[in-house]
Amino acid sequence: MRKPLYVFIGCVMVTAGFFLALTWQLPGSDEVSTLIGPRLWPLMVLVLMLVFSVLLLIQTRRKASEDVDAESAPSTSNTAAEQPGRWRALEAYRHWLLLALVIAYTVGMEAIGFLPATVFFTLLATWVLGARQLRSIVLTTFAGALMVAVVFDALLNIPLP
């Protein structure tokens, strides 16, 4: 299982590095008339991709060393068996549910508007990705909608549809 993860991490790092080099060719804020230039957003996303892929690599290596230690120690609990059956079934089809949510989000933007569709999408995606506490779901939904509104309206000066 770890080998495909290392391949994925390597692909993310190479792709982010490649596009990071290309991003520097975009005009910066000093070269355009807006507050934020076209370079800032892709630059932030690509730097975050690199940071998160390095963190994933560190976590994967740490998990590998813990697994080696755990193999020598006797097992006392089975976490997969402790989960209720309905949550394990949801976990098995999570990627398909997220794909359906993205499609519904795209269609929902036309029907109910960008911001309300974003609120519903964030709420449901947070639940599908494993959040079960109402407080964390509400906070994530509120933070997601607020970030979208602030980034597009205030920072990028792009009116939401």
Q: Is 78 left (phi over 0), alpha (psi -120 to 50) or beta?
A: beta
**H-helix segments, the chain:** 2-23, 40-72, 79-82, 85-92, 94-112, 114-128, 134-149
pLDDT, tens digit, for every residue of 90-103? 677 888 889 999 99
Q: Is residue 54 part of a domain?
A: yes
The model carries a pTM of 0.52
* Domain stops at, among 21, 45, 72: 72
Least confident range of 100-109, 112-121, 152-161:
152-161
Rounded CA-CA distance 64/4 in Å is 14
Is residue 156's pLDDT more than 60?
Answer: yes
Phi, psi (rounded to 5 degrees) for 7: -65, -45
Is residue 69's pLDDT more than 70?
Answer: no
* Domain stops at, among 50, 72, 94: 72
Domain total of the chain: 2
Domain carrying residue 14? 1-72
